[in-house]
Structure formats: structure tokens, C-alpha cells
Amino acid sequence: MAKIRVLNPIVELDGDEMTRIIWAMIKERLILPFLDVDLKYFDLGVRKRDETDDRITAEAGHAIRHFGVGVKCATITPDAERVSEYRLKKEWPSPNGQIRSILDGTVFRKPIIVRTITPAVRSWKKPIIIGRHAYGDIYRGVELKVDRPGKVELVYTPTEGPERRVLVHDFSGPGVVMGMHNLEKSIRSFARACIAYALSERIDLWFSMKDTISKQYHAFFRTVFSEEAAARKADFDGAGVAYRYMLIDDAAAQMMKSAGNMLWAVSNYDGDVFSDVVAAGFGSLGMMTSVLVSPDGQFEFEAAHGTVRRHYYEHLKGRPTSTNSVASIFAWTGGIKKRGELDGTPEVVAFGERLEAAVIGCIEAGIVTKDLVPLMEPRPTGYQTTEGFIAAVEDRLTAA
């Protein structure tokens, strides 16, 4: 069969450990035999990042800006333990964080839904997608320990005009304080990325803060979001989807009772917490994808999980593994379908859909990795190895 030609390049970001092994298998067996595609390859494995003093990460981020579509394998974010394990020069920063700031992007996590896997929350029938604002708040906070009585104030010194101060607290004993900030530009980009994603997927958009308590900080987020949504009202009406603002606690309760099928946009910390709640509720980390969307319409697709370190050590000992490759395969198909959509090549989009159907077909037929067995109804009697699952998908894809 002739290979399908992909018009424009896809940026490929390689990664670490077990996911690096899976990544190579997917590329060799499920992608390259079927597509004639120009992959702009960047090795973001931790050794290469170390060797290049991490320049490779910035280069990869800029390549995604340039070409518009990237697919990324999971990577190690080194801590002290990893520095000695891999003999690194230093604790290089998170590649995802760096690429996020290059693209000024928002991360959306989306579960892969399969008929034979019942979510822990029975009402959930369709994906719940979390849009997490990825700038500021406590993640860029400054903190102080107060160890004796004294006054703590916020002081704003504008480049022009009078100074302003507010009392944080007049301490009579020890305590703690924190100062945090956010930027209108970043909140607006976040709102636009969320609106673009909800409209392109034709799903409702929820946005939640706690503006009844935080009448300046949280209220500002709400105002910016409402302005951006109002500017796209005709598009919302045209797509038949709604924008709703809800208080975060109300939204959390509604989310637990809903059938899903919405994008829930939340602040940085809420997104940190609720993306893990939703991931756990839908079943396995191996079934959760993630896409970084920039306000200018660039996309980077990846699995939401890490490098599956424990399985990698088993693999290094020569033992068989049963690591779920579904989210990594969907990172590839997400990138391929988006490339086809942007290039106006429906045959490329159709290939992405065929590969996804082959994966779902395997799972529905009970051909799964070990992590999925306890989630399945009916429960399969055995499970596949890492390689066995990919081979089964390959068989289906070739037969299709």
C-alpha cells in the first residue's frame, strides 16, 4: 500500500525511560510504515538536554512555534536523585514548563473513553477536559516566615504616580505570609485558548473561580474571561455551545454529577488538583492525553503520564513489562489529525482516526495491558506485554 503523504512537517520530541522505548515502537510500527512524513526530530532525553545545556528544549519549542504541530514523549524533570542517577550537570528545569512558556500555551487533559471501561464516577459518560491556567499564583509566589511580632504590608510602587499600600496582617506572634500575582495578558491568552478549544471541539465551556471571597484577584479573572467569551458570542451561538461561570465549589459538585462533555477552565492550583481527580476518576493514567494549545493556534500533543520509571527498571532487568501505550499513541494521532486539519488533507486525518479505531478495537476486544484489566467490564482473562499490545494494534491497522 502506498504511504499517505503529509504535506508539512511534524515536530517530534523524544523523551525518557519506558516511554522512550514505547515511543520508538509506535513510530517504527504504527506511523512510518503508513505515512510519508517529515519529522523534525529533537531528542529531549535527559542525557541530550544535559549535553546541550538544555538548549535542545528551547530549540524544540521554537520549532513547534514555527511548524505549528508537535508530538512529545514523556521526559524526566530531574531532581537531586536524578542528577546522581544520570550524572547530570544540574537539575534542569521541566521541559514542559519551558515549552509552555515559549508557546504561552494552555494545557488541556482529555481522557480516552472506551465502552468497556466504566469510570469510577458512574454519571461520567463523556470526557471532562480540564483547562489549567499555567502561569502565576502560588507557582510564582513569594513567601516569608514571620517569626516575631510585626506588621506585613503589600506595597505597590508604580513607575509614575503615588505609592499604594495595604495591610496584610499585624502579627502579634509567628506566622506565614505569601504574595502572588498574575498578568492580564496571561489570563487573556488563557481565556482565548480555552474558548478556541471549546469551539473547535464543540463542547460547553465552564470557568470557575472564587470571586465571592477574592473580590479583586479572582474577580479580575472572571471579568477578563467574560469579556473574551462575550467577544465570541456569535461563535458560541453558531456552534451551539454555552459559556458558564460558576463558583469553584459549585462547579466541583456539578462536575461529579454531570455526564461530562465540557471543558472546565480553572486556575493554576485548581487545575493541579482537579486534573488528578478527573484522571483517577476515569481510570488509568495510561488513558489520559494532554494537548498544549497556544493562543496563536500551535499545538503540542503528549501523554499526561510520566516516563513510567518503575516499569523501565523492570525492563532494564530483562523482565517483560505491560505498560499502556494508548496515551502515547494518541499523542501521535492527535498531532497527525491536527496536521491534516491545518494542511487541508483529509486522508491524513483519516489515517489518525483509523489508528485510534484500531487501538479502541483492541481494548474493546479485551486485548489490553495490565493496568486496564481491573477497570474492564467484562474482565479479560489475561493481558498483553508492552510490545504485544502494540503488535495487536499493528495487526488491526494492517487488516483495516
The residues binding ligand NAP (CB under 6 A) are 74-77, 96, 285-286, 302, 305-310, 323-324, 371
Nearest alpha carbon to residue 332 among 361, 355, 304, 308: 355
Shortest distance in whole angstroms from residue 37 CB to ligand NAP? 23
Residue 296 found at the interface with Mg ion (CB under 5 A)? no
Residue 59 found at the interface with Mg ion (CB under 5 A)? no
Nearer to ligand NAP, 209 or 367 (CB): 367
Q: Which residues does residue 293 pair with via DSSP β-bridges, in sequence order? A: 106, 299
Shortest distance in whole angstroms from residue 77 CB to ligand NAP? 4
Shortest distance in whole angstroms from residue 279 CB to Mg ion? 9
Is the Cβ–Cβ distance between 327 and 306 less than 8 Å?
no
Which residues, including other chains, have CB under 8 Å from residue 195's CB and lie 6 or more apart? 205, 228, 229, 232, 235, 243
With vertex at residue 241, the alpha carbon angle to CA 240 and CA 242, rounded to the nearest 5 degrees, is 130
With vertex at residue 308, the alpha carbon angle to CA 304 and CA 310, rounded to the nearest 5 degrees, is 155
Q: Which residues of 96-125 are buried (b: 16+ CB within 10 A; e: fewer)?
A: bebbbebbbbbbbbbbbbbebbebebeebe
In angstroms, what CA-CA distances link 309 with 54, 282, 284, 286, 323? 21, 22, 16, 13, 11
Which residues, including other chains, have CB under 8 Å from residue 24's CB and lie 6 or more apart? none
Return the one option of ligand NAP, Mg ion, none that residue 57 interacts with (CB less than 5 to 8 A, by type).
Answer: none
Shortest distance in whole angstroms from residue 189 CB to ligand NAP? 21
Return the one option of ligand NAP, Mg ion, none that residue 31 interacts with (CB less than 5 to 8 A, by type).
Answer: none
Which residues, including other chains, have CB under 8 Å from residue 181's CB and lie 6 or more apart? 136, 140
Return the one option of Mg ion, ligand NAP, none that residue 324 interacts with (CB less than 5 to 8 A, by type).
Answer: ligand NAP
Nearer to ligand NAP, 3 or 47 (CB): 47
Nearest alpha carbon to residue 132 among 35, 316, 268, 314: 268
Shortest distance in whole angstroms from residue 312 CB to ligand NAP? 8
Residue 235 found at the interface with Mg ion (CB under 5 A)? no
Shortest distance in whole angstroms from residue 25 CB to Mg ion? 28
| Residue 393 DSSP SS3 | helix
Nearer to ligand NAP, 23 or 135 (CB): 23
Return the one option of Mg ion, ligand NAP, none that residue 348 interacts with (CB less than 5 to 8 A, by type).
Answer: none
Return the one option of ligand NAP, Mg ion, none that residue 77 interacts with (CB less than 5 to 8 A, by type).
Answer: ligand NAP
Shortest distance in whole angstroms from residue 209 CB to ligand NAP? 26
8 burial (CB, 10 Å; 0-12 / 13-18 / 19+) is middle
Nearer to Mg ion, 272 or 341 (CB): 272
Nearer to ligand NAP, 265 or 287 (CB): 287
Nearest alpha carbon to residue 324 among 369, 380, 379: 369
Shortest distance in whole angstroms from residue 318 CB to ligand NAP? 18
Residue 272 found at the interface with Mg ion (CB under 5 A)? yes
Nearer to ligand NAP, 182 or 369 (CB): 369
Which residues, including other chains, have CB under 8 Å from residue 347's CB and lie 6 or more apart? 4, 340
* Distance in angstroms (rounded) separating the CA atoms of residues 351 and 357: 10
Nearest alpha carbon to residue 127 among 321, 258, 285: 258
Shortest distance in whole angstroms from residue 262 CB to ligand NAP? 24
Return the one option of Mg ion, ligand NAP, none that residue 165 interacts with (CB less than 5 to 8 A, by type).
Answer: none
Residue 277 found at the interface with Mg ion (CB under 5 A)? no
Is the Cβ–Cβ distance between 114 and 360 less than 8 Å?
yes
Helix (H) or strand (E) segment spanning residue 266: strand 262-266
Nearer to Mg ion, 272 or 387 (CB): 272
Nearer to Mg ion, 130 or 205 (CB): 130
Nearer to ligand NAP, 21 or 209 (CB): 21
Residue nearest to ligand NAP (CB): 306
Return the one option of Mg ion, ligand NAP, none that residue 272 interacts with (CB less than 5 to 8 A, by type).
Answer: Mg ion
Q: Which residues bind Mg ion (CB under 5 A)?
A: 272
